[in-house]
A = this chain, B = another copy of it.
Amino acid sequence: MKKVTINDIAKAANVAKSTVSKVMNDAPTVSPDTKRRVRAIMKQMNYTPSSIATQLARQSSSTIGVLVDLSRKADFLNHFFYTIIGGIENVAGPLHYEVTISNIQSTGPDNFMNRLVRGRKVDGLIMEKSILTREQTEELKLLEFPFVSIGQIPGAEGISSVDIDNTLGSGMLTEHLLEQGCRRLVFLGGEPADSIFESRSRGFRRSLKARGLEGEVFCGEGTVAEGCRMMKNLLQSGPVPDGIVTISNYVAFGVLQALQEAGLRIPADVCVATFDDYPLAPYTSPPLTCLHLDTFELGIQAASMLMERIDGTVTGVETRLLLPTLITRQSSLRQPAK
């Protein structure tokens, strides 16, 4: 596979290589005639320009980087990664940008800041909210390097981000349960350190307060086992709640188990509604009422925000919040909708 370069084309077409270059970029200062001729030769010789040489000449990598922490296995990203990447590629591709995945290893001088940012391997960066340190975000801002966070970074101002509107989302779940006649609501969450727990539980409390009600919030590991344990505790101590909002499908699954073991009827005795809509959620017994999060759109928005910043169209800080969708199923439907 010997590579044919712009020079070969120039020779074969009997023109200067600058003319060939102009043809490739469809410059208006080239006669239609030579354009045709050069193009024919390019096709005939099976020529494709070297993207690397173009990048060097243009001083742009035409690549956006997606930074992940591959050492974290049970990540939010784990389940949504493919879809998010799909969304990103969906806007980057048509703009002739490549998407590269980079593991963020802080080890040595080979870290992403040097490799990708200073080494100009990428023109911009997208990452999950919690993988950058404070210093790293500051450095990126200082370098005026374009980047967009997926998920809002709590406490960090001046960073553009896209996120699901978690607070609104738990409001939707909560109000749905209230509409179904629930009055003693409980929110079962995950890791308290995770900012998602904060925003979701906040929406829960706020919705209740708007109706003059109150509800308790619990947190744990966010696993099936933990959801089950938390629910069992609730059943033993104090009055049994009649509506449960959970932070994830895992916790919801544990809750369903605990309730069934206790012989409670769902949704007659207790309604359950949860964040996330995993593929199996329609098939639990009973099927789970879920809040669907459009992660493909999350990727699209993140990438389009980034592209705006890369080409300089937009400079300011911006946060876009996406609306979740409530999907009602049996676990919360007391009077089946018609």
Interface residues of A (CB under 8 A from B): 1, 3, 46, 48-53, 55-56, 61, 63, 68, 70, 73, 75, 77-79, 81-83, 85-86, 89-90, 93, 96, 98-103, 105, 110, 114-115, 118-121, 143-145, 224, 249-250, 253-254, 257, 278-280, 282-283, 285
Contact A82 B77 (CB under 8 A): yes
Q: Which 7 A-B pairs have the closest CB atoms?
A: A48-B118, A81-B82, A100-B100, A70-B86, A51-B119, A224-B283, A89-B103
A-B contact pairs, 20 of them (CB 8 A): A1-B144, A52-B55, A52-B61, A56-B56, A70-B85, A70-B86, A70-B89, A73-B83, A77-B82, A78-B83, A85-B101, A86-B103, A89-B102, A96-B110, A98-B121, A224-B283, A249-B280, A253-B280, A257-B283, A278-B280
Contact A49 B119 (CB under 8 A): yes
Q: Write the chain B residue with the least CB distance to A90.
A: B70
Contact A105 B93 (CB under 8 A): yes
Q: How many copies does the complex hold?
A: 2
A139 CB, nearest partner CB in chain B, Å: 11
Please judge, given known A-B contacts A1-B143, A283-B224, whether A48 and B98 are in contact too, CB under 8 Å.
Answer: no
Contact A99 B100 (CB under 8 A): yes
Contact B89 A3 (CB under 8 A): no
